[in-house]
């Protein structure tokens, strides 16, 4: 497959006009905490286009491990809830910023909206938000949102937006695994798979391991954290899974109730047999909502049998299994990597929507746009990007000092 075959999923040049009924009748209620909005939240999250990452259980699990102030913005039309924005509040030098809950660990944010909702007029939305939030928040920054998602325009597509420096990559799953592979040069992929299979058999064989008991699941997640820490260290990158509250969040996701078509986190691993019995070469974590499967993370051991391409081998089996269980989209998440482009036929542009509510918020929004443009430029320059990452690692390893009493 070449990049020329990649479909770009982004906003069209001409976006329709806002829905007049929404503009004239929109009102907003703000809840402090999750519980008051739970009933409406659970109803709106049934929309197939709503991200699992903005669901009630995902948000509640994050806050249990990472407590922070929360405001849930509930939009109403005719007294009925038509959207929810679950936000956590952080203090910045430029005021208070409201972002999606657990936004740093989300591959896709959508908010929660009633199905088939029209486009919301930005002026009407701001007019409803300002009286309710201006004394509590300076800027609402809704980040990593695809405004064209599965051929549907997002209701907030008319808001001021900045293209996020990270795109996301997806692979449509067709009627069978064979049909799915035809999208990405099936002949070449089968040849590569056979070579990987031969190498794995030569070293004693393998199994695709899905832990069945809580102790097994949590032990495998700890193995992922270990592998990923080693990978980050080898690449000179900061470890985004390093903090204990972050690890506690992912451990808690493993224990949430699940069905075959709805689960917060499942783990799969490529595990060796024979002389290396039980050695885990690769780990991946999947989430699923309906027919949408997201690969949340993955790791590999680079010190053992790298010639087997264990991550690629595990993806083959995961995608094959998803085809067999009725999934329609395998989502590799945000971040541009060669292995994603080798599998995917859809590249989705994500946007940051910025709603400044105060003068400080307008300054923060301008700063945010400048940072996004700078990040995009840095990522295009490999030398500069590597230097910045090394600085981040050095800062992460620096000894912690006592906070200033004035802070």
Question: What's the pLDDT score for residue 381?
Answer: 58
pLDDT band at 393 (very low <50, low <70, confident <90, very high): very low
The answer, yes or no, to whether residue 373 has pLDDT greater than 90, is: no
Q: 344 in a domain, yes or no?
A: no
Residue range(s) defining the domain that contains residue 85: 16-163+351-397
Which structure tokens are listed for 186?
A: 């099936």
- Pairwise CA distance, residues 254 & 116, whole Å: 32
Do 64 and 107 sit in the same domain of this protein? Answer: yes
**How many folded domains does the chain comprise?**
2
Question: What's the pLDDT score for residue 365?
Answer: 92
Do 179 and 303 sit in the same domain of this protein? Answer: yes
Question: What's the pLDDT score for residue 407?
Answer: 30
- 8 A C-beta contact, residue 162 and residue 370: no
Residue with tokens 């299994």: 321
The answer, yes or no, to whether residue 401 has pLDDT greater than 80, is: no
- Pairwise CA distance, residues 50 & 289, whole Å: 9
* Among 112, 105, 107, 46, residue whose Cα is nearest residue 73: 112
pLDDT band at 31 (very low <50, low <70, confident <90, very high): very high
Q: 372 in a domain, yes or no?
A: yes
- 8 A C-beta contact, residue 74 and residue 83: yes
Structure confidence by residue, pLDDT tens digits, 170-179? 999 999 999 9
Domain harbouring 179, CATH code: 3.40.630.30
- Pairwise CA distance, residues 228 & 237, whole Å: 11
Alpha-carbon torsion angle 361, 362, 363, 364, nearest 10: 50
Do 279 and 135 sit in the same domain of this protein? Answer: no
Length of the chain: 407
Question: What's the pLDDT score for residue 404?
Answer: 33
Write down the mean pLDDT value for the chain: 91
Q: Phi then psi for 5, rounded to 5 degrees?
A: -90, 0
- The mean pLDDT value for 122-146 works out to 95
pLDDT band at 241 (very low <50, low <70, confident <90, very high): very high
Q: Phi then psi for 192, rounded to 5 degrees?
A: -65, -40
Determine the 3-state secondary structure of 44 from DSSP.
helix
Do 155 and 240 sit in the same domain of this protein? Answer: no
For 274: left if phi > 0, alpha if psi spans -120 to 50, otherwise beta; the answer is: left
Do 137 and 194 sit in the same domain of this protein? Answer: no
pLDDT band at 250 (very low <50, low <70, confident <90, very high): very high
Q: Phi then psi for 55, rounded to 5 degrees?
A: -75, 165
The answer, yes or no, to whether residue 260 has pLDDT greater than 90, is: yes
Do 237 and 187 sit in the same domain of this protein? Answer: yes
Q: Which of 73-87, 258-272, 284-298, 361-375 has the lowest mean pLDDT?
A: 361-375
Do 78 and 183 sit in the same domain of this protein? Answer: no
Alpha-carbon torsion angle 9, 10, 15, 21, nearest 10: 80
* Among 141, 168, 164, 145, residue whose Cα is nearest residue 155: 145
- 8 A C-beta contact, residue 47 and residue 113: yes
The answer, yes or no, to whether residue 316 has pLDDT greater than 70, is: yes
pLDDT band at 395 (very low <50, low <70, confident <90, very high): very low
Do 247 and 371 sit in the same domain of this protein? Answer: no
Q: 223 in a domain, yes or no?
A: yes
């Amino acid at each position: 497959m070449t990049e020329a075959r990649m479909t770009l999923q982004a906003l069209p040049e001409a976006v329709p006009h806002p829905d007049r009924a929404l503009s004239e009748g929109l009102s907003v209620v703000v809840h402090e905490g999750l519980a008051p909005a739970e009933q409406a939240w659970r109803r709106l999250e049934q929309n197939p286009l709503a991200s699992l990452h903005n669901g009630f259980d995902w948000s509640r699990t994050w806050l249990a491990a990472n407590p922070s102030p929360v405001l849930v913005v509930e939009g109403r039309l005719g007294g009925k809830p038509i959207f929810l924005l679950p936000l956590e509040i952080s203090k910045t030098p430029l005021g208070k910023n409201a972002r999606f809950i657990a936004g740093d660990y989300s591959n896709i944010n959508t908010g929660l909206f009633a199905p088939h909702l029209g486009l919301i007029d930005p002026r009407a939305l701001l007019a409803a938000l300002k009286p309710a939030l201006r004394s509590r928040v300076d800027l609402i920054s809704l980040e990593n949102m695809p405004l064209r998602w599965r051929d549907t325009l997002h209701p907030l597509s008319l808001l001021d937006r900045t293209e996020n420096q990270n795109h996301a990559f997806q692979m449509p799953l067709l009627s069978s695994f064979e049909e799915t592979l035809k999208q990405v040069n099936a002949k070449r992929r089968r040849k590569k798979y056979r070579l990987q299979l031969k190498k794995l058999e030569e070293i004693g064989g393998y199994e695709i391991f899905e832990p069945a008991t809580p102790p097994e699941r949590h032990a495998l997640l700890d193995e992922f954290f270990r592998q990923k820490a080693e990978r980050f260290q080898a690449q000179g990158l900061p470890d985004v899974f390093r903090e204990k509250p972050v690890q506690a969040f992912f451990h808690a996701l493993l224990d949430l109730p699940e069905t075959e078509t709805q689960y917060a986190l499942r783990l799969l691993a490529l595990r060796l047999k024979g002389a290396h019995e039980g050695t885990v070469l690769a780990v991946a974590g999947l989430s699923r909502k309906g027919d949408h499967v997201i690969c949340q993370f993955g790791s590999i051991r680079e010190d053992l049998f790298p010639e087997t391409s264990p991550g690629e081998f595990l993806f083959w089996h995961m995608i094959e299994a998803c085809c067999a269980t009725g999934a329609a989209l395998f989502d590799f998440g945000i971040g541009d990597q060669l292995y994603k482009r080798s599998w995917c036929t859809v590249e989705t542009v994500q946007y940051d929507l910025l709603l400044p509510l105060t003068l400080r918020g307008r300054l923060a929004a301008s700063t945010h746009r400048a940072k996004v443009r700078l990040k995009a430029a840095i990522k295009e320059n490999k030398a500069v990007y590597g230097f910045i990452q090394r600085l981040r690692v050095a800062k992460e390893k620096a000894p912690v000092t006592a906070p200033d009493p004035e802070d």
